[in-house]
Amino acid sequence: MTNEASLDQAINLNERFAALDTVERLRLLCREVGGRGVFTTSFGIEDQALTHLIFTADLPIEVITLDTGRLFPETYAVWSETEGHYSRRIRAVYPRHEGLEALIADQGIDGFYLSVPARHACCDVRKVEPLKRALAGASVWITGLRAGQSASRSAIDFVSFDAAHNCIKANPLLDWDRGDLVAFVEREHIPVNALHAKGYPSIGCAPCTRAIKPGEPERAGRWWWENEDQKECGLHVDESGRFVRSAPVAAEGPFR
């Protein structure tokens, strides 16, 4: 399929997503895009909800995580609990040791605090390059992005074409409200990261994530020493730092 055809398909799927519930969105992707579907989880509440839906509906979607080597103990705990809860393995992709050793030799173990470029270099080695390997040959990349997570994420699409990874990218939870998400997870008895109860609505690497203060945006605790408009790791933005879009997002959508 050409990039133009993939873009047309992304626009078509994007328009159809708003009227569907989340499982129907996932089934639509499997049915109409086909090929290898990959969901990347970081074990936050959004990703736990999607993991639950994928596993309980027995959908042909691989669940993969990027283990950066700097995750919280609580994240590893919920990873183990999730595998036990669903009797399924979650595949891990790790940084290449050569790149990681070179990074630390250059900037030190915590050099990402020194500058934005240094932090981006760390994210590139620990997350961006492993993601490329995780998505190699994939037709669909599924994420847990929600519009309510940050101002920059409020304008992204349900579905777009990700040219960097040559695949359809889908955000089935885009229109979910956090309150509805919490209620869903509680109702379905889904394992959750213990850090959420400690004031961490968004969870990444331990050195780069803090609890948020009352009234702060959900992602304020990520790379808190940087400006708000720089708070992406490179997984979801293009080289200019912008989210890739295919078509306008519907003004309203169903909370599922």
Question: Is the sign of the CA dihedral 236, 241, 243, 246 positive or negative?
Answer: negative
- C-alpha pair distances (Å), 147 with each of 32, 80, 150, 229: 24, 28, 7, 15
- Asked if 233 is an active-site residue, the reply is yes
Residue 55: how many other CB atoms lie within 10 Å: 17
Angstrom distance (rounded) from CA 137 to CA 236: 18
Cβ pair 6, 157 in contact under 8 A = no
Edge-first strand order for the sheet with 37-41 is: 91-93, 61-66, 37-41, 140-142, 167-170, 159-162
Q: Which of 122, 167, 208, 233 is catalytic?
A: 233
Active site residues: 233
